Amino acid sequence: MQKYFFENVLNYEHCLVNLHCNYNDMGISERKERDRQEMRGKIIDAAISMFLTEGYEKTSIRNIAEKIEYSPATIYLYYKDKDELLYEVQKQAFEKLELEFEAKVTSSDPMERLEQLCYTYVRFGKNNKEMYDLMFMMKAPMNCVDEDETWNNNTDSFDFLVKCLTDCMEKNLLRFDNVMTAALSVWAMGHGLVSLDVSCRFKAMQMDEVSINAAIEQAIGQYLKLIKA
């Protein structure tokens, strides 16, 4: 009986030790993951800051490492190259655009909602020119997306556009038979206006900034009238 009692005590103590070890292992694992995410955040914040203030060419792994006071080798543990890092920055920019859509594209009327979306998209691009360049014009980040892969960074914002157009088409409010054709047309219109602004091509119009902005707003309004059923 005494032997049986001590064996049970030893087994119980052994279980407690294992439980404590597993708990510690879990704590260490969670702490490592938290530290890893914090480091990713630090790298991304530095990359965004550098990209916005110094441009694409000077946004390098070495310069980012110097900014956060780590070695370049440390950053390579998280991102294989500059393109992959900029792809993550691009993702952050799209999340910002999606927040703009959620905050400003709110009308219960489908056509008014489409109008809000167009104005929000173009204003976002005009107010965030460097980021817009990275999101929609610069080739480098897209090197991370294989030909047979989906461009996930843009999925939610594009789906927002498609949903808005679908709502309009279900009520026969647009001159389109196919929602993807409609999405391509609306996107091309908005992108065309923003890309002309980002690349400073509106200078050809020899107009001041106020007049150009007014012309852009009018162009959006006229386009929406043309596609309305």
The residue ranges of every structural domain in the chain are 2-76, 82-227
CB 75 within 8 A of CB 61: yes
Class assignment of domain 2-76? mainly alpha
The whole-number pLDDT of residue 22 equals 53
Q: What is the pTM of this model?
A: 0.81
Which CATH code fits 82-227? 1.10.357.10
- Residue 20: count of CB within 10 angstroms of its CB: 10
| pLDDT at position 24 | 55
Ranges of residues in the chain with a pLDDT under 50 are 2-7, 9-10, 16, 19, 23
Q: Measuring CA to CA, which residue among 97, 117, 93 is closest to residue 105?
A: 117
pLDDT score, position 225: 97
- Alpha carbon of 100 to those of 96, 117, 124: distances in Å? 6, 9, 8
What is the predicted pLDDT for the residue at 11?
A: 57
- Residue 124: CB atoms within 10 Å: 22
Which residues on adjacent β-strands are paired with residue 174? Answer: 228
| pLDDT (0 to 100) of residue 154 | 85
The span from the CA of 187 to the CA of 81, in Å, is 30
Q: Name 108's Cβ contacts closer than 8 Å, sequence gap at least 6.
A: none
